[in-house]
Amino acid sequence: MTRIAVYFLIGYFFILVQTVLLPHLLPFQIKADLLLILVIYLGLNEHYLGGALLCYALGSLFDVFAGSQPGLFGIALMTTFLVVRTVVGRLNTESSVLLLLMVFCGTLFEGVLIVFLLGTFADTGPMGFMVLGGLLPQALLNLAVAFVLLRCLVRLQRRFFPRSLIPGLQHLGSRHGS
Q: To the nearest whole angstrom, how small is the minimum distance from the Cβ of residue 148 to other proteins? A: 18
Stretch near other proteins under the rule CB under 8 A, chosen from 115-123, 149-157, 160-168, 169-177: 115-123
Site string for other proteins, 125-154 (x = CB under 8 A): xxx--xx--x---x----------------
Shortest CA distance to 64 belongs to which of 72, 52, 53? 72
Q: Does 33 bind other proteins (CB under 8 A)?
A: yes
- Binding flags for other proteins, 64-103, as an x/- string (CB under 8 A): xxxxxxxxxxxx--xx--x---x-----------------
Residues forming the site for other proteins (CB under 8 A)? 15-16, 18-21, 23-24, 27, 29-31, 33, 35, 48-49, 52-53, 56, 60-75, 78-79, 82, 86, 114, 117, 121-127, 130-131, 134, 138
